[in-house]
Amino acid sequence: MLVRALAIIALISLVAEGAQWERRRRREPPPVELTPTIVPNYAFARVRFHSYREGRRPGWSHDYPRAERNLLRILSEVSEVYTEPAAHTIVSLDSPDLMLYPLAYFSEPGTWAITPEETANFRDYLSKGGFAIFDDFDGPWDWENFEACMARVLPGRHFERLELEDPLFQSFFHIKTLEMPAGYGAYEAPSFWGIRDDDGRLLLVANFNNDIGEYWEWAEHGYYPIELTNEGYKFGVNYVIFALTH
């Protein structure tokens, strides 16, 4: 199955190998919420949160919707999770609908301007078993803002650096190294951080100095080497499987 999975990933990565880098920088239309054509048993939830830097393409929508479409396509091919590329949604962080999704994906959390309503709702989500991914950081200034927001959500809890042996990185694919270049070229090497509850359950993962969603989004265009795109998909699949099983 692993060989087949890597072959599928490679095929997606090779499409449009000759695309020019300038295409990546073209202006994109505003996000459009899609309705799945089936009723899957797993839907990918991207979180809409309040930000101090809003615009035509706010940070929370970065890589949308291509990133989740491509990840869900791979997930449906390599696992028994019943899903499809259109099975994704956008949910507001202060909405009770957040509780419907076992995994919540945050893009560019360094721009987060957390509200009291978001604070309370997100705390409830994590305490009830939810798992969160924080992706796409632009350096220590992003981390400082994100860490301050999380201190309001989970006061008294601290981040710990996650190591390769953590079940998160072995939940489906057996990831062999956490050393990888960032998709956009970060100031420091990427690292992975998490917070646990009193029982030791991992509540979230923060892909610091990294943008794994970038690998998912541009797989069809061949912007990154196949090996890196494959690794990005492995992390994504592991995160989903971990959220569904822990």
Domain of 234: which CATH number?
3.40.50.12140
Q: What pLDDT, on the 0 to 100 scale, is given for residue 182?
A: 67
Give domain status of residue 138, yes or no: yes
For 92, the token pair is 């507001």
Tell me how many domains the chain contains.
1
Say if residue 9's pLDDT is above 70.
no
Q: What is the pLDDT of residues 158-211, one digit of tens each?
A: 999 999 999 999 999 999 999 987 656 556 789 999 999 999 999 999 999 999
* Residue 55 confidence (pLDDT) above 90: no
Residue 28, domain member (yes or no) = no
Which pLDDT score is estimated for 43? Answer: 96
Mean pLDDT throughout 49-61?
Answer: 85
117: Cα within 13 Å, side-chain hemisphere:
8
Q: Decide if 26 is inside a domain.
A: no
Residue 188 has a pLDDT of: 78
Residue 82: pLDDT above 70?
yes
Q: Is residue 229 part of a domain?
A: yes
Strand partners, 214: none
The model carries a pTM of 0.84
Residue whose token pair is 């076992």: 102
Domain presence at residue 121: yes
Across the beta sheet with 44-48, what order do the strands follow?
A: 88-92, 44-48, 103-107, 131-135, 202-208, 191-196, 160-161
**For residue 116, is it within any domain?**
yes
Domain range for 142 is 2-17+44-245
Burial 149-182 (b: 16+ CB within 10 A, else e): bbeebbeeeebeebeeebebbebbbebeebebeb
Question: Is there a contact between 107 and 133 (Cβ–Cβ < 8 Å)?
Answer: no
Say if 209 falls within a structural domain.
Answer: yes
pLDDT band with cut points at 50, 70 and 90 for residue 14: very low
Residue 55 lies in a domain: yes
